[in-house]
Structure 1
Amino acid sequence: MPTALYNRDILRLAASIPHLGRLERAQASAEKRSPVCGSWVAVDVALDDEGRVAALGQEVKACALGQASAALMGAGVLGREPAELVEARDALSQYLAGARDEPGDWPGLEVFSEARAYKARHPSILLAFEAVAEAAAEAAR
């Protein structure tokens, strides 16, 4: 792998994942696994009375790219509505696939620009966003 894929920014993010650990009183949870590399993410959420994410817990067993994605997701998730999480997941997926030129409005996702060329890495990058979107949608029901 070229060093640009696992650059300093990716490695810093991977070492600074917020909201680690499972929530005791989660309203919903979701687990996602990448069949390609075995990366795994579990996410717990609790919503406030307005339907926004009030608490997040996550357990991450993933490569540096999956960890970096979980760090970015965790840093920006509080206060978001389930629909915003679906939008962020879809924008990131489209960005990685080359269907759009920018990753959407979620802060920091441009760090994955080098990973766009490595399709086998996309599932790991998407895990945290897929899990939080699923968990928040379930909690909102």
Structure 2
Amino acid sequence: MSDETDLIKLYSAKILDLAANIPHSTRLDAPMATVKRRAPLCGSTVTVDLNIQDGRISDFAQDVKACALGQAAASVVGAAVVGRSLEQIEAARSQLRAMLKDGASAPKAPFDGLAVLEPARDYKNRHASIMLSLDATAEAFEQALQSNCA
């Protein structure tokens, strides 16, 4: 397969549609936690605000400045994250990392939409950008739990 064909497959219409329609893309007024994560190689950033209630995400927002792949991942995360526990976020993050790095299956529902990013496995320089939204969400969740207990 040529490099051009690989890139066309990587930037599919579905990925571009997800990138153009990121849910929860405004900031929260008074979040319990805010985390900004940056992918050093490409400079992509994601800032996540969230609130938790009863051990689950009750409010979520993200400011995404990333490549189309990072935006697509953030779109899937944004659509699935409200109502999820820290364990579910961490499981999705581990599954996405394994999908990208080890060729494992795509994350399970409700994060199964991340399967669209399977073609990015061969583009290691994009992995950090794809991971940003889940990494920032997990870190913000942990911070919110700590501040809620303090």
In the superposition, the TM-score normalised over structure 2's length comes to 0.89
**Between structures 1 and 2, the one with greater helix share:** 2
Aligned-partner Cα distance in 2 for 1:135–1:42: 10
Match of residue 123 from structure 1: 128
- Measured against aligned partners, the alpha-carbon deviations of 1:13-50 in whole angstroms (never above 9, x if no partner) come to 000001112111100111110111100000000011x1
TM-score normalized with structure 1 length: 0.95
Query: Is residue 9 of structure 2 the alignment partner of residue 31 of structure 1?
Result: no
- 1:89-115 superposed Cα distances (whole Å, 9 cap, x missing partner): 111011100252333332301101110
Q: Which moved more, 1:103-112 or 1:14-23?
A: 103-112
Query: In 2, Cα distance between the equivalents of 1:4 and 1:98?
Result: 20
Contact 1:82 1:140 in 2 (8 A): no
Segments of structure 1 that go 5 or more residues without pairing to the other structure are none
Match for residue 86 of structure 1? 90
Return the match for 1:59 from 63, 66, 69: 63
Partner of residue 14, structure 1: 19
Cα deviation code 1:59-107 (max 9, x no counterpart): 0000000100110000000000112111111110111002523333323
* Greater C-alpha Rg: 2
> Runs in 1 of length 4+ with deviation above 6 angstroms?
none
What RMSD over aligned residues (CA atoms) do the two structures have, in Å?
Answer: 1.1
Please give the alpha-carbon distance, in whole angstroms, between the structure 1 residues aligned to 2:106 and 2:51: 29
Distance 2:125 2:115 in 1: 18
Residue in 1 that maps onto 2:107: 103
Name structure 2 gaps, 5 residues minimum.
none
The answer (yes or no) to whether the contact 1:53–1:77 under 8 Å persists in 2 is: yes
What percentage of residue pairs aligned between the two structures are identical? 44
